[in-house]
Structure 1
Amino acid sequence: MNYFAGLVREIAKSQNQAVKLALIYSEVTPEAILDKLKAGRLEPLAPAPTYDEAEILRSSRIVAVMGVEPIQRAIESGADIILAGRATDPAIFAALPMMRGVDPGLAWHAGKVAEYGASAAEPRGPVDLLRVELESTSFVVRALADNRRCTPASVSAVQLYEVGNPHLMIEPGWTIDLREITYQQVTDDLVRVTSGKGVPQPYTNKLEGVTAAGFQKMFTCAIRDSTILECLDSWLADLEESARDRCRTLVGADAFAQCKVTTRVYGRDGVLGERERRRPQTISEVALIIDVISPNADDAADVIEAMHYVYMHSKSPAWSINGTLAFPFAQRIFDLGEVYEFNVHHVVHVDSPDELFRLHVEDVTV
């Protein structure tokens, strides 16, 4: 937020233009969320991780996801430019229409379509513009590029994206019922959508947060040796045990014990892992990505080196010599730096839609 605010100030001054700048901060402190926990005002969203006092205090960052109201306060301030922290995607589009009396169901639903831009048109392609025009009980959608058109299929498809239930939109303070909406092809490139019904709900803001997972390093290689592929799981397990023994000898058992080692097998089940239900019966080749995460950067380095060594010198069941693995890059190991993991999937009940957000308004002068 502060970085982009600095850019706005620099640009405004370089253009000799005075502007009013509004900043809406969405980051909240662990202490504020801890108070909500103790007051019984946190609600988990299944499947939610454990989110107790210790986990809250371990958080590296926590943000609340704003609805339309903080954005409306910024508009009311007379700001020329508004920079906002985390918000629901439709909120930035729904805020102004709702200020002007547009039905909330219509504003939220139109905002949901607007946020996808020309992804609501066909053919799909690079990011492009979409025009959404509000009517009294409906809205019309048109792609601005001459080579794209909106259809009922392309517009309705956005309701399937990042949702658990395409018939309901959940937004701060509102549920939008989409079960009875219709999509009508008005012209070859324009679609009319009847509005969803907005139903008021107790006001909550979703929380998003991360905690430090450690330091990550990885390498990759590929296998076409059929004698390895025939016994791949046991072969991989043997290599991991060899790496464990090597670490125990060189740097001590604790280094490997506190690491998380993950091996992904692309070409078999690299995306879904154990949840893959359609593993191929025969495999001609696989690509392996092996990564290590450790709370200690030195331990991550030691363990990934040990893993790479045993892979580099691994034996094929059919050969007495080393070397049937293919390593695609000259660089052996890739340092991915410090990594984080999500640690909260909850909403927080608030007394006011603006409670968790801080509005700062300033005049940028030349």
Structure 2
Amino acid sequence: MNTKKQLRIISPNGHLGFAPTKEESFKLGAATKPDYYCCDSGSDDIGPAPLGADKSVGMYDWQVHDLELMLLAAREQGVPMIIGSSGDTGTNSRVDMYVQIIKDLAQKHQLPNFKLAYFYSEVDKELIRGKLQSGVEVEGLDGRSSLTLAELDKTDRIVAVAGIHPFIKALDMGADVIIGGRSSDAAIFAAPAIREGFPEHLSYYLGKVLECASFCAEPYAAKESVIGTITHNEVLVTAMHPDQRCTVASVAGHAMYERSNPFFEYFAGGMLDMTNCNYEQYDEKTCRITGPVFAPIEGKVKVKLEGAGKVGEKYIGIAGIRDPYTIKHIDKVIEWSKNQVAEMAAGKEYFVDYKIFGKNGVMGELEPIKDIGSHELCVVVEGVAETKELAEQVTLMATRQIFYARLPEVKGTAGTASFVVDEMLRCTPAFEWTMNHVIPVDDPLELFDVHMIEVAQS
């Protein structure tokens, strides 16, 4: 029987390492002595390329900065620190990188010995293949059909999205610091609350409101800390930045964004129903929430799978345009460029895209672009092909042909494009999402390998 009346969790950053945590509000929060230091370090909002290429999108130094802030505060206070979706994607290499950072920081600051748990989330393609061949249906999400072997074959890397279970196991093992693979954002915060006996419906809501840190406060400010407090009857969320407040509008708005149905969110084993949530202004900086419902789903637990597959090599070119006549006829310029690329690369597979940025907005190819009222445009050209050579050729041809476009009424060289970047920018290869599915499992820990080590000074 849980006798603890409340639990307090600090969330310092909505995406650890994506941009550095702001230190002032973090230190204000740490001074209140929260029970846990928890942070989400990843997202599929960054697209499939980081997962497919197995790389981070956050700068290494920024990730070290954020981990150092949390580790020193948590170890000084003697309370757990929990990280999920390490290194943006939660792949095995990102988990290993974070584990090494923690070891290095412990050595740097000569911290007393502590227990570090970590778990992996990558899934072997052959395991999924075996499931499919044995008749297991891997259902698609967001309108996707069930997974096929052809889609699996196009996949380069897969991660399973952990729920609360590996975090709870690590805490049960005595972990002081947890470095997690790919994870449900909210589970990182819900896990310690559920483990300590607080109601599931409030624990999951606590996770939902804390996952993006200060995004649930106003005025808008990213990378600032907030503290969530859970009791057996309510959730309270408080802004730490001196000029921010968690209001009814800011908290309710955050809880309902980014989903097709803003009132429901699926977690492994159940659905959080926020239809009847009640929001009240508790004090100047704090919003109080009651009323969420967690409905368990009957049958096997289903774990989300994210998979990415390589499409091709990618280059980017940039053209700036100030000539009024060219701007007025930019649709014909793009058409000319596309036709020239098609002629050059006839019979070859490639992809080319044009993004047109103007002083008065951003336009894609299919949107009306006449009479835009701008004196300057920037065209970003993206070319993708199987080989680096063809991708560069396609991108370079598409970008230069903006300058060479043959427009009616132009006599001689009219200076159509004032600036063209001839040196193409080579990018991370292009990837696509190949898997956004759920797979049934007999054990919610089936796809997650939890390890424990002692971090000691040499």
Relative to the length of structure 2, the TM-score reads 0.72
1:88 aligns with 2:184: yes
Partner AA of 2:304 in structure 1: K
Per-residue CA shift, 1:8-31, capped at 9, x if unaligned?
A: 222223415322211110110111
**Secondary structure in 2 aligned to 1:327?**
strand
Cα distance, 1:235–1:314 mapped onto 2, change above 3 Å: closer
Q: d(CA) in 2 for partners of 1:85 and 1:13?
A: 23
Per-residue CA shift, 1:78-118, capped at 9, x if unaligned?
A: 11211001111110100011112211111001111111222
Q: d(CA) in 2 for partners of 1:224 and 1:231?
A: 12
1:175 aligns with 2:271: yes
For 2:20, the equivalent position in structure 1 comes to none
Identity percentage of aligned residues: 27
For 1:311, the equivalent position in structure 2 comes to 402
**Higher alpha-carbon deviation: 306-315 or 15-24:** 306-315
1:18 aligns with 2:18: no
Q: d(CA) in 1 for partners of 2:188 and 2:445?
A: 15
How far 1:34 sits from its partner (Å)?
1.6
For 2:338, the equivalent position in structure 1 comes to 240
For 1:208, the equivalent position in structure 2 comes to 306
1:259 aligns with 2:350: yes
Q: d(CA) in 2 for partners of 1:217 and 1:83?
A: 34
How far 1:230 sits from its partner (Å)?
4.7
**Secondary structure in 2 aligned to 1:162?**
coil
Per-residue CA shift, 1:230-284, capped at 9, x if unaligned?
A: 5443442222222333x35xxxx44xx211111223349855653x5xx466223
Which of 69, 80, 97 is the aligned partner of 1:3? Answer: 97
For 1:118, the equivalent position in structure 2 comes to 214
**Secondary structure in 1 aligned to 2:112?**
coil
1:146 aligns with 2:242: yes
Q: Quick check: 1:49–1:343 contact (8 Å CA) kept in 2?
A: no
How far 1:50 sits from its partner (Å)?
7.3
Cα distance, 1:16–1:197 mapped onto 2, change above 3 Å: closer
Structure 2: 5+ residue stretches without partners: 1-94
Equivalent positions of 1:1-366 (< 5 A) are 1-14=95-108, 15=110, 17-38=112-133, 39-48=135-144, 51-201=147-297, 202=299, 203-245=301-343, 247=344, 253-254=346-347, 257-267=348-358, 270=362, 273-274=365-366, 276=367, 279=368, 282-285=371-374, 286-322=377-413, 323-327=415-419, 332-366=423-457
Q: How many residues are paired up?
A: 355
**Secondary structure in 2 aligned to 1:238?**
helix
Structure 1: 5+ residue stretches without partners: none
**Higher alpha-carbon deviation: 317-326 or 190-199:** 317-326
**Higher alpha-carbon deviation: 5-14 or 76-85:** 5-14
Q: d(CA) in 1 for partners of 2:280 and 2:398?
A: 58
Cα distance, 1:328–1:260 mapped onto 2, change above 3 Å: closer
Partner AA of 1:326 in structure 2: S
Q: Quick check: 2:333–2:402 contact (8 Å CA) kept in 1?
A: no
Q: Quick check: 1:315–1:321 contact (8 Å CA) kept in 2?
A: no
Q: d(CA) in 2 for partners of 1:199 and 1:19?
A: 37
Q: d(CA) in 2 for partners of 1:148 and 1:194?
A: 22
How far 1:229 sits from its partner (Å)?
4.5
How far 1:224 sits from its partner (Å)?
4.3
**Higher alpha-carbon deviation: 35-44 or 80-89:** 35-44
Q: Quick check: 2:355–2:364 contact (8 Å CA) kept in 1?
A: no
How far 1:129 sits from its partner (Å)?
1.3
Per-residue CA shift, 1:37-90, capped at 9, x if unaligned?
A: 232231111322674213213312100101001110011111121100111111
**Higher alpha-carbon deviation: 99-108 or 115-124:** 115-124
Q: Quick check: 1:49–1:344 contact (8 Å CA) kept in 2?
A: no
Q: Quick check: 2:161–2:306 contact (8 Å CA) kept in 1?
A: yes
Q: d(CA) in 1 for partners of 2:436 and 2:198?
A: 31
Cα distance, 1:54–1:106 mapped onto 2, change above 3 Å: same
Partner AA of 2:144 in structure 1: A
**Secondary structure in 2 aligned to 1:290?**
strand
**Higher alpha-carbon deviation: 59-68 or 140-149:** 140-149
Partner AA of 1:4 in structure 2: Y
How far 1:152 sits from its partner (Å)?
0.5
Q: d(CA) in 1 for partners of 2:365 and 2:380?
A: 13
How far 1:352 sits from its partner (Å)?
1.0
Partner AA of 1:30 in structure 2: K
How far 1:305 sits from its partner (Å)?
2.6
